[in-house]
Structure 1
Amino acid sequence: MKTTFSFSVPLRAGIILLLVLLMHLAGFAQGLPTQVVRGTVLDAAAKAPVIGATVVVVGVEPALGATSDVDGRFRLAGVPVGRVKLRISSIGYEDLFLNEVTVTAGKEVVLELALTERLTKLDEVQVVYKRSEDRTVANNEMASVSARPFSPIEANRYAGSLGDPARMAQNFAGVGSANDTRNDIVVRGNSPASLLWRLDGVNIPNPNHFGSQGTTGGPVSMLNNNLLAKSDFLTGAFPGEYANALGSVFDLRLRKGNDEKREFLGQLGFNGIELGAEGPYSKNSKASYLVNYRYSIFSLLKAVGYEIAGTPSYQDFTFKTDLPVGQRGTLSVWALGGLSHIKFFGADIDSTKADVYGDENQNSRVRYTTGIGAASYEHRFTDRTVGKLTLSGSRTVQDYGQDTILYRSGRNILAEIENYKADFTQEKLSANLSVTHKLSARDKVSAGLIIDLIQYSYYSAMLYPRVVTERKASGNTAFSQLYAQWKHRFTDQLTLNTGLSASRFELNGSTVVEPRVGLQYQASPASSISLAYGLHSSLQPLLVYFYQARQDDGRYLESNRDLGFTRSHHLVLAYDRQLSDNLRLRAEAYYQSLFDAPVERTPSYFSMLTEGTDFAPTNKGNLVNEGTGRNYGIELTLERAFSRGYYFLLTTSLFESKYKGSDGVERNTPFNTGFVANALVGKEFKLGRKDNTFTVSLKAATTGGRYTTPIDYEASGALRSAVYRYDQAFSQQQTQYFRADVKLGYKVNRARLTHEIAIDLQNVTNNRNIFQQAYNPRTNKIGTAYQQGFLPVPFYRLTF
């Protein structure tokens, strides 16, 4: 089963829209617009409100400041639009600095700020260091290393990111992409399938349109960047609360809707056309809602007669509501759903070259449905103890059909015969219970229980030239996790994070126990050293367990049902130095030893460590947990936070990624590109008296070539079908990858609204990066398909 595709955005409609908007925006209103900045100040460990905290806008005349009330709430009115710096301070807490708060005329700024309690008393010598630079500190206090917080601003700012958190993360050290057509990410040489997606504390299925079960990426994200709050991206030795993940974790958070004022959004971009609204249910209540709907721009163009081969259609919907319950409780309900489908017809394929979008000998039809919903209640029992219960459910459906096309001569079709059918449905009901208790300024403990009840119905079969059933299974199983964590601060400079996680998979009784430990030392006011170790484990994609493989006696059996967890030891050493107020250097060295990876029972090259980047499931049977692998490398990051109108981010990674199949031969994984380097720089120019801004963002990315398996040309010609040299698996390296992107943006602040207009010029050098090389049986030639060429993507957003 093969289905690969990419998207290009027609420009005519976008250019016309941009010209109309520019003419509209040319007007000039009197007066400088201002906005409200407000929010809540909380104790970072206990989540209790901090009363009497001072919030000041730095460098503004006349002075602007506010004090938090009994609920920790503060309000600053009349803040000028643009970028401002905030200082938050309270007796007994470390100061918190926010260097980059973007204020626009069209939307209030609502912040949730967490202060860390000091260990030293006021009459003692206090050590003040830059840990309190909020943008460099992860939400998860238990993370000692490899935790990179990010904000929605970054996903919008970086050229080439298209507002997608996964594409944005490709700019971080140690992270690469699988290919341009999808947002899969390769972290430290691990398969993209080793990523865990989490949303508001819930482990969720693949949150991408056309996101196949068993994978973690796709061409278009269902996650809406306009609705995200500050979130974490973790790449190794992560805390004990994260289970069923080997390589990385996206711990995302949905923001709350504005609980004082109704606000609206309209946007047109790569992900489609969207409308959003948020606000309070009434003026007398602090209950709020947040709702957004997106519809594929390709579907709209098709409706007016503009259609491309294999037109992708997709739409998604996101909703969240937050309701205060008494003085100490909050009820949150959210939902995320998406539909996507696409068709490829072989008659539309250019037979003279390899094609990324389909196969001239096949018709393909695919439909995906994803729905996720959750309700959580958080209760603050005391000012030191917080508990949270979340009930959630999800449903994913993947329906695939394929025809074989028989030709008379040339391109004249003789017949179209259904040759493959797949229908995969998976449903999950989950309960998450967690409790956090702050023992003192030195100690914080937390514990949790997660139970997943999983129901599945899988069917897939080859129908031509003979019927072979690959999967035919339905039933239910369960996955459970119990964890405990402890954070101890020996001094203001030395912190210990420990944790223990235990997981069980009921399908075959597999059980694992995973210790985690991290130590962080603040060597000086500007530098820190951290060391962390974690034992991590991950189940195989559920589809793998039910694959029916042919046995020696000719029967087809589910030979993978007894597979256990793939496991790994992960050790990370990190050094972090604040070179100046806005310049930060970070270096990390890591070693990951993987074991118990599924490989074939008989000697072969295959390992599950090399899977996870395709739309098709892994169809391998007779697997056993006997494979190994190792990833090791060093990462460097030099980052300048946005200040004085510009920022930059320079990252580079040098690494090795190896594995062994059941034949005992050590090979490159396909992800062993050897190095990844990224350079991003952005500059903002103020225009006019209203702080309208013009921005330029530049990005350059390069990696070593991916490893592929050579094709046996002679055997392929004889069989008129591709035959690979699996004895030389992943021994052939493609040419080096390079891509440069440019993003130009213009933001206009009116009295009560903000226009943002931009164009993202992707692959501006039109570099020909190899996507795949494939054998074409009709032409008896090997063709090369290339990744995305030069692609301009227009963007417009209106907030009011």
Structure 2
Amino acid sequence: MRKLIYVVFILLNVFANAQTGIIKGLVTDKQSESPLPGATIELLQSTTPIGIITDDDGYFRLENVPFGRQTIRISFIGFESITIPNIVVTSGKDAVVNVSLIESFAQLDEIIITNKNAKAKAINKLASVSARQFGVEEVTRFSGGRSDVGRLAANFAGVSSPDDSRNDIVIRGNSPTGLLWRLEGVPIPSPNHFSTAGTTGGPVSALNPNLLKNSDFITSAFPSEYGNAIGGVFDLGFRKGNIDDYEFTGQVGVFTGVEAMAEGPLGKNKGSFLVAGRYSLISLVGGGAGGTSATPNYNDVSFNIDFGKGKLGNFSVFGILGNSDIEFLGDDIDEDDLFAAEDENTFVESGFGVVGLKHQIAIGENSFLRTIASSSFSTNDFKADRFIDKDTPQERSIRYTEADNTETRLTFSTLFNTKLSNKATLRTGVLVENFRVELLERDREEQADINGDGDPDLFTFRDIDENLTIIQPYIQGQLRLTEKLTLNAGVHAQYSSLNEQFVFEPRAGLNYKILKNHTLSFGYGLHHQPVSLPLLFLNEEINGQLVQTNKELDFVRSSHYVLGYDVRIGNGWRGKAEVYYQDIDNAAVESFSSSYSSLTEGADFGFENDRVSLVNAGTGFNQGIELTLEKFFSKGYYGLLTASFFESKYEGSDGIERNTPFNNGQVINFLAGKEFKMGKAQKNVLFFDTRLTFSGGRYFTPVDLAASQQAGFEILQEDIAFSEQYDDYFRWDVKFGYKINSKSKKQSHQFYIDLQNVTGNENVFERRYNRLTNRVDQVDQTGFFPDVGYRFQF
């Protein structure tokens, strides 16, 4: 019967219209991740029936598919079928769709349950709440996103982006340092150009979205396999290259740079290669961007080489390598530059890299073992030479600040997954990370002139070469109690060799389908994370000796509680509401009465240098409600409206409850887009996208102007920390472009113009003391900026 269906579908395909593309992919069992041979794939919205069934390895190749956005339905007897809309079919590249089906709760013969809008759910089957899936099409589609996954996430409910100059993201009032980045199942350092030690963001992303497959973004109560984070998780994966044909992409954009990508088959076991390189366009043509007049130079190479399935399982090698540098020369710097000053020459170099070997092997029909070994690094070199008595006959220059920071990780992860039945799945594993941390930082800021040379002394705040190991075992499972009720539960544990602390973290999530289109969910999770390494290894001078007095600090602890409601509103529409409360303790605070807390770190590009002899006595909380109304792309348009209303507070050692710098209060995003088919054959597309963002202003600590003028450097009024708030943030972005599909060749073109902050709204970056003018100046964020780009696929 299966062969007969296959022959019928092939005959139908022969009579399909010309000027068509291809949809192909892999269909697997979501619980066991084993392939499903004989699954049926149907192209919907087609006048001529088009379909295919998967081969013995679960692969399918649906040919003669009309250009444009298409919808397919994947079904398999005994499994819940899935409808996948919004698949972009072009002439320049095959559309790849990998699908996981879940076995029906009861053994069914003919009845098929259809799960629509599958993209609203996380790829990780054990994520119950506060999780959503996103893909490369979304990353590159949204206006103002600069093809950056971090900026994409800023559109989701519960997320805000602190400023236009960096892609740090604040999740439910947590510091950006609480974010966990994962690639192919292993944690990685901040995947950004110009990143600094201990941070998770940067001005330009080193992640090439053209290599990403559909991935997960989780904002609370993470499943048990995620650890060492209290804010959120980016769980990213690289797609495999084309296993049938060679394909190439050339691309250029203001922020993404000049790019070339190649992919194609490798070997006889359905292996493939995928490799891409990018180089900054601005460094080629000159000029500045993103809030500075200096010229940034950056480049990166990304790859994923899959060797296919053999007798010993499936092996693949993946990686990213990137570096960046920029020079801020005082004579060329404007007074409103976001990153530099007119009386300094500053030189910045940074690097990022990860290389991993991944292996997966099936154990029986319903289990697999996945093992990953990787090495990663992050480097940052910063030097600042300050002019003394600038523009006078006595002008001279001294080395004022220098930092040379390197973090290297060796990571080993192994995971065993087994499908016990159609109602139960078990997953267990362990993650081992060894960190080598080399931090050197010297600075004259706020230092006395003890040696009497007329200049503040160059004090060594950090000078370390340390090793530490973090071990994270976990076990978790999913139990489908009834057809409507699903329980996800597990335990994560975490051990640090630095202070020999060991903690257990219970996690649980419950999903209950009240009615056909209505679902309630509840999640709880206990999470721990060390204080950021730049704080842990700070030096304090005691009796003439430099001592790391923060080194024995315990993990910061956070309990997450989430209640959610999800509803499908008609065809292609979805509504969602979540309320949450996050209780935080063990934060690092000063041992004397003070407003400081480690929960406020991450608001700036670096970490404070004078917070020593800290103790784990700080507390905080985040609470709020999030609303989402989403129209998935269909009938030529999409829409997304998200609104977050929240409160983020903390207490230092003085016991006074204060706003965190991340307590914006509310964030509202509206995104929409429309496509128009063009030409006689209706194969080309004219598209428009727009985004409106409104946010409450960030809280900040006011400058003590009189004290700053007397000292010659900025002094803040810490007794009233984070008591004042910047003006509300508003930004409107508009993007439009044109896609051209070739009539006779496997080629496609795309042009776009992305007008960012079209109203030129003056959003506040910060108010800071200017030592040259002896006043407090307001510096605004990036104003109107046009981004243009072109892509050629063949």
Shorter-normalised TM range: over 0.9
Partner residue, 1:61:
47
- Write the distance in 1 (CA, Å) between the matches of 2:109 and 2:357: 46
Aligned partner letter, 2:713: S
- Write the distance in 1 (CA, Å) between the matches of 2:186 and 2:270: 24
Task: Establish whether residue 326 from structure 1 lines up as the match of residue 310 from structure 2.
Answer: yes
SS at 1:491 equivalent: coil
Which of 252, 256, 259 lines up with 2:243 in the alignment?
259
Deviations 1:12-33 (A, max 9, x none): xxxxxxxxxxxxxxxxxxx952
1:439 aligns with 420
- Residue 634 (structure 2) aligned to one of 616, 622, 643: 643
Which stretch has the larger CA shift, 323-332 or 145-154? 323-332
Q: Does 1:274 align with 2:263?
A: no
SS in 2 for 1:299: helix
Change (3 A) 1:127 1:618: farther
Residues 1:43 and 2:29 are matched in the alignment: yes
* Structure 1: stretches of 5+ with no match in the other structure: 1-30
Matched, 1:336 2:330: no
Could you say which residue in structure 2 is the equivalent of 1:12?
Answer: none
Which of 83, 92, 100 is the aligned partner of 2:69?
83
Superposed CA offset, 1:362-394 (max 9, x none): 221111011110001100111111101111001
Residue matched to 1:580: 570
Aligned position for 2:344? 362
Q: Quote the offset at 1:601 in angstroms.
A: 1.4
Identical columns (%): 43
In structure 1, C-alpha distance between the alignment counterparts of 2:331 and 2:138, rounded to whole Å: 42
Structure 1 residue 622, shift from structure 2 partner: 1.1
Aligned mate of 1:753, from 717, 736, 747? 747
Shift of 1:120: 1.6
Q: 1 CA distance for matches of 2:194 and 2:395?
A: 31
TM-aligned CA deviation for residue 217 of structure 1: 0.4
Partners of 1:193 and 1:613 within 8 A in 2? no
Q: Give the drift of 1:734.
A: 0.6
Q: Which residue among 140, 164, 176 is the counterpart of 1:180?
A: 164
2:736 corresponds to 1:744:
yes
Provide the residue aligned with 2:771 in structure 1: 777
Cα displacement string for residues 311-369 of structure 1 (whole angstroms, at most 9, x for unaligned residues): 11100000110112426721010110110111112222334xx4313112222111101
Q: Does 1:157 align with 2:146?
A: no
Match of 1:534 in 2: 525
Q: Secondary structure of 1:226's match?
A: helix
| Cα pair 1:215 1:613 within 8 Å, conserved | no
Alignment partner of 1:374 is 2:356? yes
| Structure 2 residue 588 is the aligned partner of structure 1 residue 598 | yes
Say whether residues 1:416 and 2:401 are aligned partners: no
In 2, the alpha carbon distance for the partners of 1:490 and 1:237 equals 21
Which structure's relative contact order is higher, taking Cα pairs within 8 Å and 6+ residues apart?
1
CA deviation after TM superposition for structure 1 residue 584, in Å: 0.4
Partner amino acid, structure 1, of 2:373? L
Equivalent residues in 2 for 1:351-750, closer than 5 Å: 351=335, 354-409=336-391, 414-462=395-443, 465-551=456-542, 553=543, 555-619=545-609, 620-688=611-679, 689-750=681-742
Maintained 8 Å contact 2:377/2:407:
yes
Report SS of the residue matched to 1:439: strand
| CA 533–425 in structure 1, closer or farther in 2 if over 3 Å, else same | same
Q: Secondary structure at the match of 1:569?
A: strand
How far off is 1:599 after superposition? 0.9
* 1:169 aligned partner: 153
8 Å contact from structure 2 (residues 429, 473) kept in 1: yes
In structure 2, what is the Cα distance between the partners aligned to 1:348 and 1:49?
Answer: 59
Displacement after TM superposition at 1:692 (Å): 0.4
**Cα distance, 1:34 vs. partner?**
1.0
How far apart, in 1, do the equivalents of 2:540 and 2:723 lie?
A: 27
Distance 1:32 1:743 in 2: 31
Q: What is the CA–CA distance in structure 2 between the aligned matches of 1:462 and 1:700, rounded to whole Å?
A: 41
Name the SS for the 1:371 alignment partner.
strand
- Could you tell me how far 1:462 is from its partner in structure 2? 2.3
Counterpart of 1:230 (choices 186, 207, 214) is 214
Secondary structure of 2:151's match? Answer: helix
Report if aligned partners of 2:387, 2:396 keep a CA contact under 8 Å in 1: yes
- Distance of 1:336 and 1:430 partners within structure 2: 15
Letter in 1 for 2:463: K
Contact 2:21/2:63 (8 A) holds in 1: yes
> Aligned ranges for residues 70-109 of structure 1 at < 5 Å?
70-109=56-95
Is the CA contact 1:458–1:471 (under 8 Å) kept in the aligned structure 2?
yes
Q: Could you state the TM-score of these two structures normalised by the residue count of structure 2?
A: 0.94
Distance in 1 (alpha carbons) for counterparts of 2:571 and 2:416: 36
Aligned partners of 1:213 and 1:541 also within 8 Å = no
**In 2, distance between residues paired with 1:569 and 1:715?**
40
TM-score by length of 1: 0.93
Query: What is the rounded CA distance, in whole Å, between the counterparts of 2:307 and 2:163 in structure 1?
Result: 42
Residue identity in the other structure for 1:400:
F
199-208 or 460-469, larger mean C-alpha shift: 460-469
Partner of 1:18: none
Unaligned runs of 5+ in 2: 1-16, 445-454
Counterpart in the other structure of 1:16? none
How many angstroms does 1:163 deviate by?
0.9
1:142-153 → structure 2 map (5 Å cutoff)? 142-153=126-137
RMSD (Å), alpha carbons: 1.7
Q: How far off is 1:592 after superposition?
A: 0.2
Deviation at 1:781, TM superposition (A): 1.8
Q: Secondary structure at the match of 1:429?
A: strand
Please give the alpha-carbon distance, in whole angstroms, between the structure 1 residues aligned to 2:698 and 2:137: 31
1:717-748 Cα deviation digits (max 9, x unpaired):
33333221110000001101000000001100
Task: Report the residue type matching 1:390 in the other structure.
Answer: I
Letter in 2 for 1:245: A
Query: Take 1:234 and 1:413, find their aligned partners in 2: how far apart are those partners?
Result: 56
Do the aligned partners of 2:168 and 2:202 also contact (CA within 8 Å) in 1? yes
